Chains A and B, each alone.
Chain A
């Protein structure tokens, strides 16, 4: 199953193909150590149609490469394999469990005269290990969020259960991977935070604490506004993947019908005598429906220590979305959902309009939103805060960037350079297309700026970036 899409038809009949997923498999060498039992190692293989022996061969090759490279550095075996046609990425998320993703390199197809088959030119340097390495890790984190760890499934139901879970999850999930639009943001896997004044933030704190007190079943709460995080009761790593799920999967699924005008959510609910706009994004679509199901997705958090399984209740009023997480051992009833709806709905509606109002006031104070001259990506490793003026709003299908992929590639390369050393660094690149690309790393923060100033020299570019830092990042310690 080859999914190759032409990216652009430039010039004559030259065709460009973006990177695409060739195969994806998960294996555990301990499950089939003896000869003739190799197939037992394979827990999941995509595409499913591949012939058994080829599967075994491919898995064997990966195993061999990892074993071989281990002899050079036992703690850091190979992470990827570069070939002319494709790139293989390895990841061992749990002991002896290996995930491998094979990506076809982007390529250009040049037509030949005289009816000869076209020449294919693979652009193996165009894709970046760190991007696909991160995508692979994200696959695991997403699996783990909804299914728990591999070893737990194995302990509970043996290989059969594990295989079943993997197939159920990855069959759907792999279809949502859009490898052609993966970039630096996938490397960061950051969280967008909603900017908010202290008082409104404290009101939200107060709201969260009171709801958790009234609904004692609720163990953790996360609060988002405009698809940006404001509060997380979950630990950082769990929030990181939950945020990814919410913003790239759950929210877009619900906003698209809204935009299309179907299922208009703007019909307020009347609880008691309080008008509110609250509704469940997971669980029952309509509380009044007598056949409504009170089933919520289950998620796994703190898998390193307490290993908790939770119901994920996502409730939204206007632009404010709240995740309530409840111990999965408890059965959630209609009564509970009704209680939650009547308690949270009116309060959240009020809070959402408060936030909106405060946000508008703050924007007015800071002056009208000037479209910044700069395109930039900012990331802070410490709190995972991420900000990008390069990326458009994400949808379920693709994440759109407003810059040329070549520039994104440069950003990725600079990031790789930064990852190699601990020191603070600054890299300035003049791109082929007259753009300037600046990467800065200060302590745990990274900033990437793309400037469109054709005739600027290095000093001017440096000055521009300094100015950007002074206006956008004046309240953090960011070395010039």
Chain B
């Protein structure tokens, strides 16, 4: 195996490039808009803003009013905010037709120093000072700020999560009591504060929790505070840990997960595709954790890395010194000295060979974004070749796939039902369920895995059939109706190996569900396996919508009387074509049979129209002539004379 196949982390193909940091060029990164600001000479010789795409890139000049501490656009690049002093923040409109002159706003709390600021909306900004927070609305036309709300609280440092607009403040002397605030258009709400458990409590008390060790990210749609707990001799943990605190919108924050790093040193955190990525500086490797891969029960679950530690794929990286990289949430890595911004990505293909337990691998893959083709290749891989899984592994994998598939089908069904009953009736607004890549349906399995597998040379046919039956069993277990093409595949395989008795038994127990196409397929097997004629007729009978087909089958077997008896038993004999039956009875060269059939239709004519004569539209002239020729004109039924 090529070693480069082994790397499951890589940096984005096209990094955002910017002018590298230098004595004349300061570089800032705004996590909210994911923009890099290159500020040359305090802005006098230009500010170049590079965003994730070209549209969000801007270049402008601004007056050099002193060293820039922080610079950020509001959402949509509407208003620029620049912090140059500890007391005030300067603003500048970027909205066309608004005055572009800068205006400044001082924090309202006396003697307070501004630690920083965050945009929570296109025109709403929050100042964080060492004595509290101030929430403002910016009025760009009036070039002033309006205080919406403020809160007094001693702040050591802060962390802001732009995705959820949640601000975390470090309070108390040790800094380990975190006070979260949530922002939403013009409102600010205080959430329940919580305490981060420190490995050692220092005496006397001093600031013991650093902002470097705290990150906030959304994992599986839930907000988590991640705490990098360094190794301490006093605890019996063999290495550093990342502790996750679940921060719900309402209710209290709880410690829920512990990620075991099994090593010590300097670390940095990212979150990619709902995986927590922990970079280890000294070994230049990274670990990934999936908090949904549960290893232990209980209120706090401990996790080991999903995969062995690997470096980020180096061939995608220009030669740089990664020790100077900065890591931002959720998935950004910046090399300021080199002038690059990358997105961190997870490559799934290598996980196939790194995770031997196929069930666990499937759990892992099903939760990933671009998982479909990888899952399908896992399925193919487990059926053939050296790494072939046994049937119980195959069964586990199928069950996992079909569980997700079934959940999607149910959601789709619930949505359809809700839509049909009218949106007004249900107070809940139903959203059409999103079909993620993890939904692997029967056609995916058929096209990418099963049809190819059944045609492969050198695979034991017993195994092929067992796999197909296992898939059908799994679908049935989740009450998913099986598509006809899967049955066809089963039948084809059985027929290919002359396993007709097996097929017969499957049909006998209705493992292959009834359908017209299946019945027709069986009919076509009659010459090689006579019993399939009976199987086919039984199936058509059970369908109860295939009476015409049954008549056709019987007539083709020259069972004219049987066909007639059947159609009469289901009450369809008034609508059948007389000519069809007369044709078939002529072919038997049994004149008495012809007589009987002919007489039956004469009687039908009599009953329906009061006259035994055939209508012109029935095209029976030829048969009437034949009847006269064989039995004589007098044998024709006489119209009733009253």
Q: In the assembled complex, how far is the CB of residue A299 from the closest CB belonging to chain B, in whole angstroms? A: 17
Q: In the assembled complex, how far is the CB of residue A310 from the closest CB belonging to chain B, in whole angstroms? A: 16
Name the A residues within 8 Å of B533 (CB-CB): 443
Question: How many of chain B's residues have a CB under 8 angstroms from any CB in A?
Answer: 38
Instruction: Give the CA-CA distance A445 to B534 in the complex, in Å.
Output: 10
Identify the B interface with A (CB < 8 A).
390-392, 395, 462-463, 465-466, 469-470, 472-473, 476-477, 501-502, 504-505, 508-511, 530-531, 533-535, 537-538, 540-542, 550, 559, 562, 565-566, 569
Instruction: Give the CA-CA distance A477 to B551 in the complex, in Å.
Output: 12
User: Do A383 and B504 have beta carbons less than 8 Å apart?
Assistant: yes
For this complex, 30 residue pairs linking A to B, each with C-beta atoms less than 8 Å apart, are A198-B476, A198-B510, A198-B511, A199-B473, A202-B472, A202-B477, A202-B511, A203-B473, A205-B469, A205-B511, A206-B391, A206-B469, A206-B470, A209-B470, A210-B392, A213-B391, A213-B466, A232-B501, A233-B502, A235-B501, A382-B535, A424-B559, A445-B534, A475-B538, A475-B541, A477-B540, A479-B562, A479-B565, A480-B565, A480-B569
Instruction: Give the CA-CA distance A212 to B510 in the complex, in Å.
Output: 23
Instruction: Give the CA-CA distance A214 to B473 in the complex, in Å.
Output: 19
Contact size range, A:
20 to 34
Which residue of chain A has the shortest Cβ distance to B541 in the bound complex? A477
Instruction: Give the CA-CA distance A406 to B501 in the complex, in Å.
Output: 37
Tell me if A193 is interfacial: C-beta within 8 Å of chain B.
Answer: yes
Tell me if A196 is interfacial: C-beta within 8 Å of chain B.
Answer: yes
Name the A residues within 8 Å of B565 (CB-CB): 479-480
Which residue of chain A has the shortest Cβ distance to B477 in the bound complex? A199
8 A Cβ contacts from A241-297 to B: none
**Given contacts A209-B391, A231-B505, is CB(A424)–CB(B473) below 8 Å?**
no
**Given contacts A206-B395, A424-B562, is CB(A444)–CB(B534) below 8 Å?**
yes
Please name 4 further chain A to chain B contacts, defined as beta carbons within 8 Å, in addition to the given A199-B476, A443-B533, sorted by A numbering: A198-B476, A202-B477, A231-B505, A382-B535
User: Do A206 and B542 have beta carbons less than 8 Å apart?
Assistant: no
User: Do A202 and B476 have beta carbons less than 8 Å apart?
Assistant: yes
Q: Looking at chain B's contact residues, is the secondary structure mostly helix, strand, loop, or mixed?
A: helix
Which residue of chain A has the shortest Cβ distance to B473 in the bound complex? A202
Name the A residues within 8 Å of B550 (CB-CB): 477
Instruction: Give the CA-CA distance A21 to B508 in the complex, in Å.
Output: 38
- Identify B509's interface contact among A201, A213, A233, A380, CB under 8 A: A201
User: Do B534 and A202 have beta carbons less than 8 Å apart?
Assistant: no
Q: In the assembled complex, how far is the CB of residue B268 from the closest CB belonging to chain A, in whole angstroms? A: 46
Which residue of chain B has the shortest Cβ distance to A206 in the bound complex? B473
Q: In the assembled complex, how far is the CB of residue B568 from the closest CB belonging to chain A, in whole angstroms? A: 9
Name the A residues within 8 Å of B463 (CB-CB): 213
Which residue of chain A has the shortest Cβ distance to B570 in the bound complex? A480
Instruction: Give the CA-CA distance A206 to B477 in the complex, in Å.
Output: 12
- Identify B538's interface contact among A205, A210, A477, CB under 8 A: A477
User: Do A476 and B541 have beta carbons less than 8 Å apart?
Assistant: yes
Instruction: Give the CA-CA distance A382 to B537 in the complex, in Å.
Output: 13
**Given contacts A206-B395, A212-B462, is CB(A477)–CB(B534) below 8 Å?**
yes
User: Do A382 and B534 have beta carbons less than 8 Å apart?
Assistant: yes
Q: In the assembled complex, how far is the CB of residue A471 from the closest CB belonging to chain B, in whole angstroms? A: 15
Q: In the assembled complex, how far is the CB of residue A126 from the closest CB belonging to chain B, in whole angstroms? A: 34
Name the B residues within 8 Å of A212 (CB-CB): 462, 466
Which residue of chain A has the shortest Cβ distance to B470 in the bound complex? A206
User: Do A236 and B501 have beta carbons less than 8 Å apart?
Assistant: yes
User: Do B469 and A213 have beta carbons less than 8 Å apart?
Assistant: no
Scan A109-130; emit 1 where CB is below 8 A from any B CB, else 0.
0000000000000000000000
User: Do B538 and A479 have beta carbons less than 8 Å apart?
Assistant: no
Name the A residues within 8 Å of B538 (CB-CB): 475-477
8 A Cβ contacts from A419-452 to B: 424, 443-445
**Given contacts A210-B391, A210-B392, A383-B504, is CB(A479)–CB(B566) below 8 Å?**
yes
**Given contacts A199-B476, A202-B511, A231-B505, is CB(A477)–CB(B390) below 8 Å?**
no
Q: In the assembled complex, how far is the CB of residue A143 from the closest CB belonging to chain B, in whole angstroms? A: 23
- Identify A382's interface contact among B473, B531, B540, B541, CB under 8 A: B531
Name the B residues within 8 Å of A476 (CB-CB): 538, 541
Instruction: Give the CA-CA distance A209 to B531 in the complex, in Å.
Output: 25
Instruction: Give the CA-CA distance A230 to B511 in the complex, in Å.
Output: 13
**Given contacts A206-B395, A212-B462, is CB(A475)–CB(B542) below 8 Å?**
yes
Which residue of chain B has the shortest Cβ distance to A208 in the bound complex? B466
Which residue of chain A has the shortest Cβ distance to B542 in the bound complex? A475
Which residue of chain B has the shortest Cβ distance to A196 in the bound complex? B509
Name the B residues within 8 Å of A230 (CB-CB): 509
Q: In the assembled complex, how far is the CB of residue B585 from the closest CB belonging to chain A, in whole angstroms? A: 15
Which residue of chain B has the shortest Cβ distance to A234 in the bound complex? B501
Name the B residues within 8 Å of A209 (CB-CB): 391, 462, 465-466, 469-470
Q: In the assembled complex, how far is the CB of residue B536 from the closest CB belonging to chain A, in whole angstroms? A: 9
Most central of B395, B462, B505, B540 by chain A CB within 10 Å: B505
Name the B residues within 8 Å of A214 (CB-CB): 390
Scan A374-407; emit 1 where CB is below 8 A from any B CB, else 0.
0000001011010000000000000000000000
User: Do A383 and B531 have beta carbons less than 8 Å apart?
Assistant: yes
Instruction: Give the CA-CA distance A201 to B533 in the complex, in Å.
Output: 23
Which residue of chain B has the shortest Cβ distance to A194 in the bound complex? B509
Instruction: Give the CA-CA distance A164 to B124 in the complex, in Å.
Output: 104
Instruction: Give the CA-CA distance A69 to B540 in the complex, in Å.
Output: 46
Name the B residues within 8 Å of A444 (CB-CB): 531, 534
Q: In the assembled complex, how far is the CB of residue B349 from the closest CB belonging to chain A, in whole angstroms? A: 28
Name the B residues within 8 Å of A210 (CB-CB): 390-392, 395, 466
Q: In the assembled complex, how far is the CB of residue A468 from the closest CB belonging to chain B, in whole angstroms? A: 15
User: Do B540 and A205 have beta carbons less than 8 Å apart?
Assistant: no
Q: In the assembled complex, how far is the CB of residue B274 from the closest CB belonging to chain A, in whole angstroms? A: 33
Instruction: Give the CA-CA distance A477 to B554 in the complex, in Å.
Output: 11
Instruction: Give the CA-CA distance A212 to B537 in the complex, in Å.
Output: 33
Name the A residues within 8 Å of B511 (CB-CB): 198, 201-202, 205
Instruction: Give the CA-CA distance A115 to B129 in the complex, in Å.
Output: 135
Name the A residues within 8 Å of B472 (CB-CB): 202
User: Do A443 and B537 have beta carbons less than 8 Å apart?
Assistant: yes
**Given contacts A199-B477, A213-B391, A235-B501, is CB(A477)–CB(B466) below 8 Å?**
no
Instruction: Give the CA-CA distance A440 to B466 in the complex, in Å.
Output: 39
Name the B residues within 8 Å of A196 (CB-CB): 509
Most central of B476, B509, B530, B538 by chain A CB within 10 Å: B509
Name the B residues within 8 Å of A424 (CB-CB): 559, 562
Q: In the assembled complex, how far is the CB of residue B562 from the closest CB belonging to chain A, in whole angstroms? A: 6
8 A Cβ contacts from A453-480 to B: 475-477, 479-480
Q: In the assembled complex, how far is the CB of residue A378 from the closest CB belonging to chain B, in whole angstroms? A: 14
Instruction: Give the CA-CA distance A255 to B95 in the complex, in Å.
Output: 93
Q: In the assembled complex, how far is the CB of residue B393 from the closest CB belonging to chain A, in whole angstroms? A: 11
Q: In the assembled complex, how far is the CB of residue B639 from the closest CB belonging to chain A, in whole angstroms? A: 30
Which residue of chain B has the shortest Cβ distance to A230 in the bound complex? B509
Name the B residues within 8 Å of A385 (CB-CB): 508
Most central of B538, B550, B566, B569 by chain A CB within 10 Å: B538
Name the A residues within 8 Å of B530 (CB-CB): 382
**Given contacts A444-B534, A477-B534, A480-B565, is CB(A232)–CB(B505) below 8 Å?**
yes
